[in-house]
Every structure is written in C-alpha cells, then in structure tokens.
Amino acid sequence: QSVLTQPPSVSAAPGQKVTISCSGSSSNIGNNYVSWYQQLPGTAPKLLIYENNKRPSGIPDRFSGSKSGTSATLGITGLQTGDEADYYCGTWDSSLSAGGVFGGGTKLTVL
C-alpha cells in the first residue's frame, strides 16, 4: 500500500488530453513539492515535473503539473503513442525517516 494514491490506469486516444491524480496528506504533499516521473517499458524512470509544476530542460510543454492542498495532478495534452508508460508521483514525507515516498504508479494507455 503506497503512501500516495494514484489510479492504477488511465487511457485516452491519440491527440486527446489525460490527467493523473496523486493524493496524499499534510505530512507529504500538503507541505512539500511534488515531482512526477515517467517510466517507459524496460527503462529507468525519468523526471517529468519537479517542484509541482516545473519542467526540466527537454520536457515538452504537453506535460504539466499542479498541486492543491494534499493532492497533485499531472496533465498530458496531445497524447502520442510514445507517451504509453507508467507515471509516478513522488514527494517528501516528514513523518518518515527515509523521507521519500512514491505513488503506486499509473499505467497510461494511448488507444
């Protein structure tokens, strides 16, 4: 059972928009920045969004992030087949000794 809650799967057609939610609590999302990671099949995760809504260099603006209270959302517009991947949210948790926590992951299918 992950500390952060994500839907197991989402799907949408190419060109459409999809959102992925991430729900936590005041000890994690509520008081810390949220990051989002993309894991393509058979590869290591890659940073998509940091500090709630910032994109690293090289990440297209089709990807966006937002946070409100103890929840965060990843948005992807103009879906492409290459976006099919697992997406994870992550943040810090002040109640845990090791600090970091992840969501359980969401499998995105582009139909």
Partner 1 sequence: EVQLVQSGAEVKKPGESLRISCKGSGYSFTSYWISWVRQMPGKGLEWMGRIDPSDSYTNYSPSFQGHVTISADKSISTAYLQWSSLKASDTAMYYCARLYGDGVDYWGQGTLVTVSS
| Residues found near partner 1 in the complex (CB under 8 A) | 2, 32-35, 37, 44-47, 50-51, 56, 86, 88, 90-92, 96-105
Q: 90 or 108: whose CB is closer to partner 1?
A: 90
Q: 28 or 79: whose CB is closer to partner 1?
A: 28
Q: Which two tokens stand for residue 109?
A: 């299918």
Q: Phi/psi zone of residue 72: left (φ > 0), alpha (ψ -120 to 50 degrees), beta?
A: beta
User: Closest approach of Cβ 66 to partner 1, in Å?
Assistant: 16
Question: Are the CB atoms for 93 and 101 separated by under 8 Å?
Answer: yes
